[in-house]
Structure 1
């Protein structure tokens, strides 16, 4: 599968999400580890049984709530794509 000479608008959103996930990894470490850490904090604070993939899902819901006020906010769509990738990768790690 080759990269398009001129990426579609959809591909540009995914590329932006990739850059965001990679950039955050440099700042905060591996996404799955960070999501697991957030899950630990939520467990301690709220007493909820959560896993890292639950955190990714919750963050997607947070971004969807923002989009309900401004459906054209590109950054929220990019963030949702990034959280979906983190959640999908995290579920692979959690099932190992």
Structure 2
């Protein structure tokens, strides 16, 4: 796939029906951040250590998940597409929050 095809496919994913299916990235990533906060606080950090996750952290960490998958299978186009989509959503969430 060309970079144009990858970006077009990512645009179709993040600007299409997914918002209807899963809600806005801002709300969905905020909820995921809350769940991850609860899990990490209980499972992974010392007592009294505060874990702060923002919606854009969710997008970045999901992109990292796609990067990890690409390490096993760099030819898997969906991981490239999804990674671009997560980064686009994260960029939008972070820049809109900075303005708001």
Say yes or no: TM over 0.5. yes
- The answer to whether the aligner puts 1:40 opposite 2:59 as a matched pair is no
| Distance across 2 between alignment mates of 1:33 and 1:93 | 13
Provide the TM-score with structure 2 as the length reference.
0.82
Runs of 4+ in structure 1 off by over 4 angstroms are none
- The answer to whether the aligner puts 1:82 opposite 2:85 as a matched pair is yes
Q: State how many pairs are aligned.
A: 89
Q: Following TM superposition, by how much is the alpha carbon of 1:9 offset from its aligned partner in structure 2, in angstroms?
A: 1.8
Partner of residue 25 from structure 1, selected from 7, 19, 28 = 19
Provide the TM-score with structure 1 as the length reference.
0.86
Q: Following TM superposition, by how much is the alpha carbon of 1:29 offset from its aligned partner in structure 2, in angstroms?
A: 0.9
Partner of residue 14 from structure 1, selected from 7, 15, 23 = 7
What are the ranges of 5 or more consecutive residues in structure 2 without an aligned counterpart? 42-50
Say which SS state the counterpart of residue 62 (structure 1) adopts: helix
66-75 or 16-25, larger mean C-alpha shift = 16-25
| Distance across 2 between alignment mates of 1:40 and 1:93 | 19
Q: Following TM superposition, by how much is the alpha carbon of 1:42 offset from its aligned partner in structure 2, in angstroms?
A: 0.9
| Distance across 1 between alignment mates of 2:79 and 2:20 | 21
What are the ranges of 5 or more consecutive residues in structure 1 without an aligned counterpart? 1-7
